[in-house]
């Protein structure tokens, strides 16, 4: 039966196919449980939808471990930063079992078999889409401005030869995939697009991200408002310099999607007399000051955009450009320059 097993009757029934329902987790009052602090994250995982809709998209064969237990195990493994499922062979299975309300966690071979069943069709993608749509619909104020970031994930396996990507933290070109995350203002992830062969951020936005956003985003402005105001936009995408492309900005403007990114070719510095101090108050109560100035700027393809610059204390000027023609300057500056705050809402007061 393996180390740490105590529920002998249920395990025996499962071994001969007589267990009709998986064992329900039963958490006990215990002392000195290794990695027990991870249980504090369980309510948050449940609120964000770890077990929601899962039965609609995943099916497991009859056995001792149910779908809920398996998803909790995978979440806890990620939270305690277990680098691979294989490394669970060297962990105490009974102690892990206490964390999930069972006598022990499954063997690595069993866990791999269960994961294979979950990932053999489009279930994970459909589950992710359902959760993303609910998150956006339940908090539309967070979905109106979306951050898109690309992150390289190094592949250390031997089963396939992936293309090489430059890994900045290691300063090497290694076999990897690229994950494009779509996040809210507070850092909450809405969705992720994985690319083994990275075509670049612009193509991923147009071919993968936008089609999915069209199906999931709530309606912020109706068709009549868009028709009456040609400068109005439906939502805003905030990206880094990789998304800088005047033709891309024009295509997004035609679809009524505003873009905000760093200016790749800012040119000469503006006179410091143009910059004015603005006090920015975040929702946490933290205050900071930004020295800002704004001009109109015509791109190489004739598209007019807004250019906003921030002057640092050392005299360095950071430039951003955007096709959001209706919002005030301060919220746009905060959205780009104060991303480190990762606050859900912010208030702005101008000196």
pLDDT surpasses 70 at 68? yes
Give residue 139's pLDDT band: very low, low, confident or very high (50, 70, 90): confident
**Res 215: pLDDT:** 87
Round to whole Å and give the CA distance between 52 and 261: 35
- Mean pLDDT to the nearest integer, 143-151: 89
C-beta contacts of 56-60 below 8 A and 24+ residues apart: 56/127, 56/130, 57/123, 57/124, 57/126, 57/127, 57/130, 58/118, 58/123, 58/127, 59/117, 59/123, 60/22, 60/114, 60/117, 60/118
Higher pLDDT, 2 or 347: 2
Rounded to 5°, the CA angle 162-164-170 comes to: 125
Q: Which residues contact 175 (CB under 8 A, 6 or more apart)?
A: 154, 155, 161, 162, 163, 164, 165
Taking residue 349's Cβ as centre, other Cβ atoms within 10 Å add up to 10
Going by their DSSP bridges, the two strands 235-238 and 257-262 should be labelled as parallel
Q: How many CA atoms lie within 13 A of 36 on its CB side?
A: 11
- Mean pLDDT to the nearest integer, 84-111: 89
Tens of pLDDT, residues 306-323: 999 999 989 999 999 999
pLDDT surpasses 70 at 152? yes
- Mean pLDDT to the nearest integer, 34-39: 90
Give residue 201's pLDDT band: very low, low, confident or very high (50, 70, 90): very high
pLDDT surpasses 80 at 245? yes
74-83, 216-225, 279-288: the lowest-pLDDT one: 279-288
- Token duo for residue 179: 């994950």
Higher pLDDT, 183 or 185: 183
- Residue 165 phi/psi, 5-degree rounding, is -125, 150
Q: Average pLDDT, whole number, for the chain? A: 86
pLDDT surpasses 70 at 283? no
**Res 72: pLDDT:** 93
Given the structure tokens 């956003």, which residue do they identify?
Answer: 213
- Mean pLDDT to the nearest integer, 57-78: 90
- Mean pLDDT to the nearest integer, 105-116: 91
Give residue 1's pLDDT band: very low, low, confident or very high (50, 70, 90): low
32 — alpha (psi -120 to 50), left (phi > 0) or beta? left
Higher pLDDT, 279 or 295: 295
pTM of the predicted model, to two decimals? 0.82
């Amino acid at each position: 039966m393996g180390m740490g097993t105590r529920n002998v009757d249920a395990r025996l029934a499962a071994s001969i196919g007589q267990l009709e329902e998986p064992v329900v987790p039963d958490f006990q009052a215990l002392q000195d449980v290794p990695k027990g602090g991870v249980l504090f994250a369980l309510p948050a995982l449940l609120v964000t939808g770890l077990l929601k809709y899962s039965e609609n998209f995943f099916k497991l064969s009859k056995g001792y471990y149910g779908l809920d237990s398996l998803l909790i195990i995978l979440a806890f493994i990620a939270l305690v930063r277990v680098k691979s499922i294989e490394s669970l062979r060297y962990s105490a299975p009974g102690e892990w079992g206490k964390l999930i309300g069972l006598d022990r966690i499954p063997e690595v071979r069993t866990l791999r078999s269960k994961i294979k069943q979950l990932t053999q069709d489009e279930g994970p993608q459909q589950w992710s889409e359902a959760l993303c749509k609910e998150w956006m619909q339940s908090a539309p104020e967070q979905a109106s401005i979306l951050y898109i970031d690309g992150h390289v994930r190094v592949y250390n396996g031997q089963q396939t030869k992936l293309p090489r990507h430059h890994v900045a933290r290691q300063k090497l070109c290694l076999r990897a995939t690229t994950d494009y995350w779509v996040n809210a203002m507070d850092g909450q992830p809405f969705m992720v697009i994985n690319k083994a062969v990275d075509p670049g951020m612009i193509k991923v936005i147009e071919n993968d991200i936008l089609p999915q956003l069209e199906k999931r985003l709530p309606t912020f402005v109706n068709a009549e408002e868009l028709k009456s105001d040609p400068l109005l936009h439906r939502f805003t995408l905030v990206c880094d310099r990789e998304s800088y492309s005047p033709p891309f900005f024009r295509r997004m403007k035609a679809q009524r999607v505003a873009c905000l990114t760093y200016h790749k070719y800012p040119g000469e510095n503006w006179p410091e007399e143009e910059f004015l101090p603005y006090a920015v108050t975040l929702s946490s109560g933290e205050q900071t000051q930004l020295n800002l100035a704004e001009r109109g700027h015509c791109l190489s393809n004739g598209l007019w955009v807004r250019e906003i610059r921030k002057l640092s204390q050392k005299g360095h000027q950071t430039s951003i450009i955007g096709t959001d023609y209706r919002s005030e300057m301060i919220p746009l500056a905060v959205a780009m320059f104060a991303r480190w705050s990762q606050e859900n809402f912010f208030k702005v007061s101008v000196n």
